[in-house]
Amino acid sequence: MKTKLTILLAFATAGMLACSADNVKYVVTGSRAPEEGARVYLIDQTTRKPIDSTVVSLGAFELKGTAGKDAFLAVTVGGSDRQFLLFNDGKPVQVDVAERTLTGSALNTRLSACVVRDAAAYAEYEKTIRLMEAAAELPQEDMAACMEELTAKYQSALKQYADFYLGMIGENQGTLIPVAFVEKLPSLAAAASNWDRAAGEAKLEEILAANPAVAGHPFVVELKRRKAAADEQRRQTAKRQQALVGEPFRDLVEPDPDGQNHKLSEYVGQGKWVLIDFWASWCGPCKAEMPNVTAAYKAYHDKGFEIVGLSFDQDKDAWLAAIAEGDMPWIHLSDLKRWETVAAGVYSVTGIPDNLLVDPQGTIVARGLYGKDLENRLAEIFK
């Protein structure tokens, strides 16, 4: 791992130096910008830092300078999150802010068209996300009734968007255009391959192998460096999380809904099997999982099973409302610090839902039990 990362870093440095050593001029003019005096930035997408800026005057702006040949850049205007993407190929570029279009060389005009197509396709997919978010706010019984159907629609919409995305990249092989789209490619390729992460990674490598100019572009090299670093960080986090399994639980103190502080040790290690459940009222996946947790509690509470919910909420009213609406009659604690909650640090929680199953003596025996896995584990314990 160390050797590969060292080579990758050397490759990244060499690629960036090669790009900066072969600078070409850029001229970016803009028209019909609605905000007079708004700041316009030219962003280097590889470093994610601005390399030039100006202000809108009488609805127009102009950026002139030099940057690396074929550098992947973006123009942002004012506070808008809309970006106009381009490659610095030495040809003048015109931005129509009102129409949200960019024209220039054949490459940049084509890139702009791809960005527009992508935005339209993503908007269709995003509709299912909004439906699921709305469903997550419903009372527990109503949410459970419609979530299965919405989940199927979401997965279908995601696969359709992934297929479009991969097709658009395929249409533009032999150009630099895939550089602008490879960042999301592994996750979308995994979705198109029935959520197979390895297949998503393999698709990325296949595309890069077929297009050396894309693979060697400084933006792509930097993406791979960041990904390698993030993967290593995730591995270290997973090791810390799984290292807790087999260890005694770690005590902490948090308030209950009445504001009274309680130690976790008041409930854990006291002769009962305990599920320490990390959740929040704002977490859609947590609410989707909650019917399984509720069913487990009702089935096994009288046999010696307890649940302690450690919430990652910040809004006390939302926390209490979710407890009431979800029919969650177990123990609840929260310091209302969201991701700064003490539980996150003590138990290396980086995402929710998450949970720990602790035996009657206080030893953590499992982590991340959901749905059927939780049901089967408890059935085995209490058979």
pLDDT digits (tens, 9 = 90+) for 153-190: 888 899 999 999 999 999 999 999 999 999 999 989 88
Return the percent helix, strand and coil in the chain, to nearest 5: 50, 20, 30
The span from the CA of 230 to the CA of 239, in Å, is 14
Query: Would the pLDDT of 133 be above 60?
Result: yes
Taking alpha carbons only, the member of 60, 28, 22, 57 closest to residue 43 is: 28
Query: What is the predicted pLDDT for the residue at 14?
Result: 38
What pTM, to 2 d.p., does this model score? Answer: 0.70
**Structural domains of the chain, ranges and CATH numbers in brackets:** 2-104 (2.60.40), 108-210 (no CATH), 253-381 (3.40.30.10)
Assign 373 to helix, strand or coil.
helix
Q: What does the mean pLDDT of the chain come to?
A: 90
Q: Please, which pLDDT band fits residue 51 given cuts at 50, 70 and 90? A: very high
Question: Which comes out higher in pLDDT, residue 153 or 41?
Answer: 41
